[in-house]
Amino acid sequence: MSNDPGKPMSKTTIYDVKVMFGDCDPAGIVFFPNFSKWMDASSLDFFVQCGILPWRELRKTTGIIGTPLLEIHTKFMRPATYGDLIHVHTSVETWNAKTFVQKHIVKKGDEILCEGRETRAFCIHPEGGRLQAIPVPDFIKDKCC
């Protein structure tokens, strides 16, 4: 059931973040775009944990420059504050022809703080041209599952 929403089509990795004072806003809680920053860091960390080379290396052999974002969708349930240790649980929910959806569940202990989905595409950047999405390479899918 490859399209069963919510069912991961991949391994799940965990990325830890210690919330800093400077991550918080005048309400004393995490300024929400920081959750997007941490999901982005966990997205990259997911591929590294699955054994994919960092983009700056991968580019040399495959031309792939990374996985630019097409869309994000995040629900915020509970706030966090400085000193909190939080965990981003990341997996791939769907592999499409030229895009994929990564799901991030951000937890503090057993509580879910927020949940986000990012739609991304593997891209190459041809000399003199524009960024171009390519089909998700099989060797990458294989390493992630």
Catalytic residue among 23, 25, 45, 84: 25
Chain residues binding its own copies by CB under 8 A are 20-22, 24-28, 31-34, 36-38, 40-41, 44, 48, 54, 56, 65-66, 68-76, 81-83
Whether 25 sits among the annotated catalytic residues: the reply is yes
Half-sphere exposure of 2 (CA within 13 A, CB side): 7
Q: What's the closest the beta carbon of residue 141 comes to its own copies, in angstroms?
A: 22
SS3 for 82-109 is: CCCEEEEEEEEEEECCCCEEEEEEEEEC
Q: How far is the CB of 115 from its own copies (least distance, A)?
A: 10
Token pair, residue 144, equals 């992630």
Q: Which two tokens stand for residue 114?
A: 């927020």
Residue 138 CB, nearest approach to its own copies (Å): 25
